[in-house]
Amino acid sequence: MTVADTTARPLDTEFDRGTAVTEDPAEPGVHHAELDGGWRIGGGINGGLLLATAARALSRELGTAAGHTDPYAISGYYLSASRPGPATLRTEVVRRGRTLSTGQVSLSQPGPDGIEVERLRVLGSYGDLDAQHADVRTSATPPELPPPDRCISTDQAPPEFLAQADLLHRLDLRLDPACVGWALGAPSGNGVIRGWLRLADGREPDPLMLLLAADALPPVTFDLGLFGWTPTLELTVHVRAKPAPGWLLLSHATRNLAGGYLEEDAEVWDSTGRLVAQSRQLAAAPRP
Amino acid sequence: MTVADTTARPLDTEFDRGTAVTEDPAEPGVHHAELDGGWRIGGGINGGLLLATAARALSRELGTAAGHTDPYAISGYYLSASRPGPATLRTEVVRRGRTLSTGQVSLSQPGPDGIEVERLRVLGSYGDLDAQHADVRTSATPPELPPPDRCISTDQAPPEFLAQADLLHRLDLRLDPACVGWALGAPSGNGVIRGWLRLADGREPDPLMLLLAADALPPVTFDLGLFGWTPTLELTVHVRAKPAPGWLLLSHATRNLAGGYLEEDAEVWDSTGRLVAQSRQLAAAPRP
């Protein structure tokens, strides 16, 4: 792990390379990306990383007017599992407003027969977080957990788990010991997982990185004793402030596992204790 | 108020008339609606009613295969205030799957110059709620509040408030006395409003009506002592089960009022105590 080099160019980090998009010189609004297998978890590329990639393309399109580069609210609907390799992002500017602009992205990849398969459809409203009022009346307080050096690094996860979760090598993820009973065969049953996150290469958080953070912890179903794949169907993130440098505190929770589905609520707090992002996803529960 | 007539045809209720869509015989995927001023609140048509209208058009399109008539997750991005009058809904089927199908709707209205203005862009994934597993492990429990006849009907709201909220005549909304201090000049400051809801004409709840329910209570900002308009920017609803007939219990809460925006989380419980819908919206806070 290296310390953040604040002079680094935007593409000098794993996260920036992983979410890089290049405009198609011939087709306005079309961007290309190369999805990197290093962000794989289970059967596909991590949903938060994908959302950040789509969000970056939209940021480019909406940011050209009024500086609306930051996603205030962004919703991704996951259609099929993304694979490492090339992807095409087609953006549409839905509305340009004075304080907010709204756009849409479709991310697709060539299927086995070469025909494009859509992976993700995204809607988002963007603005300029630096232009928001300074008034902060947040009543929510961050959960209390031990400092990162007294939490449990996912480096210590069983090798068979790490083998399915390439992205863990790119994250420095420290789980609250109170929420890792599942790793020892004794899940708490509370449906809560908390931990600290920073990027392994020291890249500091920003609004796009918060989209990854919202989907970075292990599934809360582990804490319910349900292991296996919990594919995200829909993920909506509200980015509420630019995060301060340093560790992010993450909290994921579910309260409504029913009918084969569950919601997963995430909160992301920055190192100053500010609630910088809130998200909810609908995921399919592991098959019993 | 009349008791529900279960033999009524679908269009015999205020909600069904208010969300009715008719297919354009000439343009596949295009539907028309007539937005009814009776669902007005403040400056525009209620956001939940609009979302239900868009959801009905999508239900028609996605329901033609595999019975995917129920929105599992649906996200509306509000672009401009809707007015009473005609509206056009353009749907797109994004993906048809075995258990879920995903689609998109754009709702627009003619502007003052006759040029179409988009009001709402929606993405949703639909399935068949009746086909879900019977396994319910919900750990959430409904809030405790007095029965409807011991709560405070919004019929008793000040006339100047009712004059801005036509839709209250179509709702039978009973607020928890513990959450209405704001009406007496003493808001609790908790950012919570709870109450019971049924439709005034006795129409029973169903998945589409839950989209209205998710946006039916007064803004939680009232409980923070902030009055005025809180326009919804984005609203995502998860419909988790078909609601049983009878009263719905609604709970709205906010914890993160900051930078001129707030989230509003809603839970909808049916008369059997099941958590049938969860939603979150990002809204603009009233200007101080």
Chain segment B16-58, per-residue pLDDT in tens: 999 999 999 999 999 999 999 999 988 799 999 999 999 999 9
**Residue (of B194, B153, B156) closest to B174 by Cα position:** B153
Q: Could you tell me if B247 and B198 are in contact, meaning their C-beta atoms sit under 8 angstroms apart? A: yes
SS3 of B19, please? coil
Query: How long a stretch of residues is chain A?
Result: 288
Q: How far is B18 from chain A (nearest CA, A)?
A: 26
Mean pLDDT to the nearest integer, A120-145? 94
Please tell me if residue B139 touches chain A, with a CB cutoff of 8 Å. Answer: yes
**Cross-chain CB nearest to B123 (options A77, A238, A240):** A77
Element (DSSP H or E) covering residue B54 = helix B47-62
Closest alpha carbon within chain A to B232:
A73
Mean pLDDT to the nearest integer, A228-247? 96
Please tell me if residue B268 touches chain A, with a CB cutoff of 8 Å. Answer: no
Residue A95, beta-bridge partner list: A102
Summary mean pLDDT of chain A? 93
Q: Could you tell me if A252 and A266 are in contact, meaning their C-beta atoms sit under 8 angstroms apart? A: yes
CA–CA distance, B158 with A134 (Å, rounded to integer) = 33
CA–CA distance, A97 with B77 (Å, rounded to integer) = 13
**Cross-chain CB nearest to A241 (options B72, B233, B259):** B259
Which residues lie below 8 Å from residue A144, measured CB to CB, with a gap of 6+? Answer: none
- N- to C-terminal Cα distance for chain A? 38
Mean pLDDT to the nearest integer, B244-253? 98
Q: Is A138 within 8 Å of B275 when comparing Cβ atoms?
A: no
Confidence tier at A86 by pLDDT (50, 70, 90):
very high
DSSP codes, A104-148: EEEEEEE-TTS-EEEEEEEEEEEE-GGGS-S-B-----PPP---G
**Residue (of A36, A23, A72, A105) closest to B261 by Cα position:** A72
Q: Could you tell me if A249 and A145 are in contact, meaning their C-beta atoms sit under 8 angstroms apart? A: yes
**Residue (of B225, B196, B228) closest to B213 by Cα position:** B196
Q: Could you tell me if B80 and B248 are in contact, meaning their C-beta atoms sit under 8 angstroms apart? A: no
- Tens of pLDDT, residue by residue over B198-217, are 999 999 999 999 999 999 99
**Cross-chain CB nearest to A259 (options B136, B236, B261):** B136
Q: Which residues of A touch B95 (CB under 8 A)?
A: 79-80, 118
DSSP codes, B178-231: GG-GGGGT---SS-EEEEEEEETT-PPP-HHHHHHHTT-SPPGGGGGT--S---
Please tell me if residue B102 touches chain A, with a CB cutoff of 8 Å. Answer: yes
Which residues lie below 8 Å from residue B25, measured CB to CB, with a gap of 6+? Answer: none
Confidence tier at B163 by pLDDT (50, 70, 90):
confident
CA–CA distance, A57 with A31 (Å, rounded to integer) = 7
**Residue (of A48, A45, A41) closest to A237 by Cα position:** A48
Looking at chain A, which runs of residues are DSSP E strands?
Answer: 22-23, 30-35, 40-41, 44-45, 70-78, 85-96, 101-110, 116-127, 152-153, 171-175, 192-199, 232-239, 248-253, 261-269, 275-284
Residue of A77, A270, A287 to mutate for B, most B C-beta atoms under 10 A? A77
Mean pLDDT to the nearest integer, A88-116? 96
Q: Is B125 within 8 Å of A233 when comparing Cβ atoms?
A: yes
List A residues 33-92 in contact with B (Cβ-Cβ < 8 A): 72-73, 75, 77, 79-80
* Among A6-10, A128-132, B87-91, B176-180, the least confident range: A6-10
List B residues 220-239 in contact with A (Cβ-Cβ < 8 A): 224, 233-234, 236, 238
Summary mean pLDDT of chain B? 93
Element (DSSP H or E) covering residue B267 = strand B261-269
Please tell me if residue B187 touches chain A, with a CB cutoff of 8 Å. Answer: no
Q: Which residues of A touch B139 (CB under 8 A)?
A: 190-191, 255-257
Q: Which residues of B touch A47 (CB under 8 A)?
A: none
Query: How long a stretch of residues is chain B?
Result: 288
Residue of B115, B192, B234, B281 to mutate for A, most A C-beta atoms under 10 A? B234
pLDDT of the residue at A4: 42
Q: Could you tell me if A43 and A105 are in contact, meaning their C-beta atoms sit under 8 angstroms apart? A: no
* Residue A110 identity: P
Q: Could you tell me if A232 and A221 are in contact, meaning their C-beta atoms sit under 8 angstroms apart? A: no
Confidence tier at B7 by pLDDT (50, 70, 90):
very low
pLDDT of the residue at A2: 41
Please tell me if residue B115 touches chain A, with a CB cutoff of 8 Å. Answer: no
The verdict on ipTM greater than 0.85 is yes
pLDDT of the residue at B3: 42
- Tens of pLDDT, residue by residue over A263-280, are 999 999 999 999 999 999
**Dihedral of the CA atoms B157, B162, B168, B174 (nearest 10)?**
0
* pTM above threshold 0.90: yes
Confidence tier at A162 by pLDDT (50, 70, 90):
confident
A220 is written with which tokens?
């809360």
